[in-house]
Structures are given as C-alpha cells and as structure tokens.
Amino acid sequence: MSIHTKTPDDGAIARLGAGFRGDLLRPDDVGYDEARSVWNGMIDRRPAVVARCAGVADVIEAVNVARENDLLVAVRGGGHNVAGSAVCDDGLVIDLSSMRSVRVDPSRRTARVEPGATLAEFDHETQAFGLATPVGFNSTTGIAGLTLGGGFGWLSRKYGMTVDNLASADVVTADGELVRASEEENRDLLWGIRGGGGNFGIVTSFEFRLHDVGPEILSGLIVHPHDDAADVLRFVREFNAGVPDDLVVWFVLRKAPPLPFLPEDVHGTDVLVLAAFYAGDPVAGEARMEPLREFGDPIADVIGPHRYVEWQQAFDPLLEPGARNYWKSHNFADLTDEAIDTAVEYAARLPSPQTELAFARLGGAVTRVPADATAYPHRDAEYVMNVHTRWEDPARDDECVTWAREFYDAMAPYALAGTYVNFISEGEDDESSAYGDNYERLTELKREYDPTNLFRTNQNVEPAD
C-alpha cells in the first residue's frame, strides 16, 4: 500500500483519542453524518473518523497520528469547496470547523482568524470597527479554503486578492511542527499558502490586514431582459474599462429568481443581472454609476445604500448547501464580442433554473501584483467566469455536467490560459492550469514541507523529484 493511504484502525484511533481535547466521530456516532456533509450535494464520502479539533494541540496530534500510521487525510475548514476535498472515504478528516475565533486589533488594523470561521463571522467582527479585507461573495464560505486558493470579492479591485492582504499565518506542517509564515519568517511558505491551497500544511491562524470599509456602502442590482443582454454587456465592457478601482460591476446570466422587486411574470425568465458595488464615498459612487443606470430599459434597478455586511450576505439564499453543483472556470483579459455572444447564446438554454453564468470583474489592484509574487498567478485576468451549474435531481448529473463542459469549451478560444483553483470541481485535474508558471516552484516547496504528500486530498501539488 502506498504511503498515507491507509484507513485508521482501532489502534490509531485510540492513540489519537488519548491526546485529543476535541471530538472524535465514527460512523455509528451521533453527529457523524453532519460532520461528513459538505456544501456540494454531489459529494457523499464516508471517512473512518472525523477529528473535530478544539485547538492547535489537537491539530498537531492529528497530524502526528496520521503521519506515523500512513493514514489517508482530508482537512476541513468551512466545507464549502465545490470539489468536496474536505472529506475522504475511509480516512481521517482533520476538522477545523470548531476553531472559529476572529480577533480584531483596530489600532493595528489587523485581524487574527482561525480556520473554521466563515466570511459572515469574519465580516461581523471587522465591521464593528468599520474595517474589512477582500473576501468572497457568499458569507457561508470558509475563510481558510477561500484564502488558500487566492480569494477575491467586491473589494479586490481596490485592495487586491485575499492573499494579497494575508500578513502572516501559523501552520502545522507535515512533521507536526507549528511554524509561523510571514515576510520575516519562513517567507517561502507564506508565498506558497498565498494561493497554493492546503498543500504545505494546516493553517491554524490567519493574520489579515484590514481597510476602512463601510459600514454603509453603495451597491445593488440592475436586471435586464435576456433579449437586451448582448447590447448591455457590450456597454458594460466599455463602462468597466474606464472606472476607478472603487467601482466594480459583475454580471450574471441566469433565470430570474423570485425576488420581491421583480414582477411575478419575470420570475423564471432568462435575465441579465448586473451587480454593482462602490467601495468609496457613496455620494461619489452615485455619480460614477449614473451612466450604468441610465443605459437601456431595465426591468428593475435597486442600487442604493446598504450595510456592507448585508451586501456580503445578499446572495446566500441562491447558494444554500445541499444542491448538486458542478463548476468550470475561465479567465479573460477582455470580453470580446464573440465571447459575449457565446455566453448569451448558452444562457438561453440553461440546464436548470439554478444554473448561472457568473462573470466577476477584477483588474485594478489585482493586476498590479507580479504573477510570481504569490502562488496565485493569474494577475492578467480582468474577468473570472464561473460556469455555476446547479441542480437537485441526481438523475440529471450527466446532462448538467455535459452542458457545463460544452459551454466551457465554447468559451475557451476567447480565454486566457489557466483557471481559478477554487472553482475546480471533483475529478478535474487542472492543477498545472491553476498555478501556471508558478507550478514548478510549488512542487519544490512541497518537497521541502510535505515530501511524502501527506496533504494530498486537495488540488494536489506533488513533491518535486
């Protein structure tokens, strides 16, 4: 049997339990099924034991037991990753979801965050001081997985990727040592965890730099009928090219959900949704958004002042756990007419009411960081596309996955090389595409910090020979 692939036996579990403060959950225990469940309903794995860690000492103990017994290991933070890498069959899950502390230092403008915290918990604490850092757009996402893959959101044009705001981290490495990764200590490790996933150890604490944001910001949606989508998107493309870093406009092609501000006869029809956000003074934002709001004949325009934490949670109802999800992703330097027309064409025949073609606008501060400055390499991406295919019936798996792959292939001629690692679904081997020219350096770093590939149930970087 190859190294680190064994199933925990009674002896290994007893050894772990002897030095463990948290909970150990086995298949017959109350809470086991909840502990093995993740956000994507397509993932149904049964680990031999879930070690729900209460603190750093538990993480160290679990890593040591796993290494010494050649166990198959998965590491769980928020459990939101679409590939389901937080759980494994027949192995040990090192579960960090109980480690949720968020400690803000307003004078230093930093936050120290444990790996089980969600974005909602992070935002709740930082916004008490009118502070934030760029994170994702679904508040139930775990901060750990988001950060380790790169992380981007509404603040990224102004303040960069999540990893660009990661000042330091505490990491339990494969040999069971707790080390600090910062610009002063283990700088190479900090480089690797800034986008290289969980390949180099288990982060037990993240330190983020914070910025003045909110608590009230200008944001909202403009909804256009699908028949106008191509013309509106051509306008948005030109509009986006000339806006400051404070302003970001994303867009989504989907069927209209039953939102209260939409007429009932629009519910379920094909629409284009523009999502606009202004990170600076809301009064200045009103003027900047005026051309966007005046273009075309929208069905609805609900842009206005919102609390930042409310906007961060606005899309949560569309992303509840339990549905079946399959994602594909492209990066774009620009959206050509052909790319826009292809997206609009496919949006007219979505495979399910919950499926959406989402385009996040980056650029700005993201692109001003060199591609080799962090493990996340895609600094030339002005747009990131997520083919977010989502449905309920398992009998439709092949149909929905096939449709997503066909659309992904149709958009490939207009895309940059590479994909966003957090948008890679189960069974898709896109590691080299996710890391680009940084991949070789990542394999060398893997050899240094995890030479036997203990941390392998992820978008895996294998150790260099």
Q: 371 and 359 share a domain?
A: yes
d(CA 437, CA 377): 7
The answer on pLDDT for 252 being more than 80 is yes
pLDDT attached to residue 208: 98
Any bridge partners for residue 276, and if so which? Answer: 220, 249
374-397 pLDDT, tens digit per residue, is 999 999 999 999 999 999 999 999
Average pLDDT rounded to a whole number, residues 237-261: 96
The dihedrals phi and psi of 384, each to the nearest 5 degrees, come to -120, 125
201-211 pLDDT, tens per residue?
Answer: 999 999 999 99
Position 54 pLDDT exceeds 90: yes
Joined tokens for residue 125:
């604490």
Q: Phi and psi dihedrals of 272, rounded to 5?
A: -110, 125
Only one residue has tokens 């040592």, namely 177
Are residues 188 and 42 located together in one domain of the fold? no
**433 — pLDDT class (breaks 50, 70, 90):** confident
Evaluate if residue 325 carries a pLDDT over 70: yes
Q: Are residues 22 and 40 in the same domain?
A: yes
Q: Are residues 247 and 395 in the same domain?
A: yes
- Which pLDDT belongs to residue 1? 45
Same domain, 89 and 200: no
Could you tell me how many residues make up the chain?
465
How far apart CA 272 and CA 439 sit, in angstroms, is: 36
Q: Is the same domain home to 107 and 182? A: yes
Q: Are residues 144 and 160 in the same domain?
A: yes
pLDDT in tens, 71-115: 999 999 998 999 999 999 999 999 999 999 999 999 999 999 999
Give the chain's mean pLDDT: 96
| Confidence (pLDDT) at 432 | 74
* Distance from the Cα of residue 412 to its chain's centroid: 22
- Same domain as 220, residue 288: yes
The verdict on residue 28 lying in a domain is yes
Domain count, the chain: 3
Q: Domain check: are 198 and 126 in the same one?
A: yes
Residue 253 lies in a domain: yes
| pLDDT tens column, 197-248 | 999 999 999 999 999 999 999 999 999 999 999 999 999 999 999 999 999 9
State the greatest distance between any 2 C-alpha atoms of the chain, in Å, as a whole number.
Answer: 69
pLDDT at 429: 63
d(CA 146, CA 140): 11
pLDDT tens digits along 140-179: 999 999 999 999 999 999 999 999 999 999 999 999 999 9
Can you give the pLDDT at residue 145? 96
Together in a domain, 385 and 270: yes
**Quick one: pLDDT at residue 413?**
97
pLDDT at 411: 98
Classify burial at 294, counting beta carbons within 10 Å of its beta carbon; exposed 0-12, middle 13-18, buried 19 or more: exposed
Answer whether residue 204 is part of any domain.
yes
Q: Is residue 135 part of a domain?
A: yes
* pLDDT score at 3: 87
For the segment 10-27, the average pLDDT, to the nearest whole number, is 92
What's the domain range around 264?
A: 216-423
Report yes or no on 85 lying in a domain.
yes
CATH number for the domain harbouring residue 203: 3.30.465.10
Mean pLDDT, rounded, for 20-29: 95
204, 172 in Cβ contact below 8 A? yes
Which residues are within 8 A (CB) of 344 and not within 5 positions of it... i.e. 6 or more apart?
226, 229, 230, 233, 253
Tens-digit pLDDT profile for residues 121-137: 999 999 999 999 999 99
Q: How much of the chain, in percent, has pLDDT values that exceed 90?
A: 93
Q: Which of 149, 184, 212 is the last residue of a domain?
A: 212
**Domain-terminating residue out of 171, 190, 212:** 212
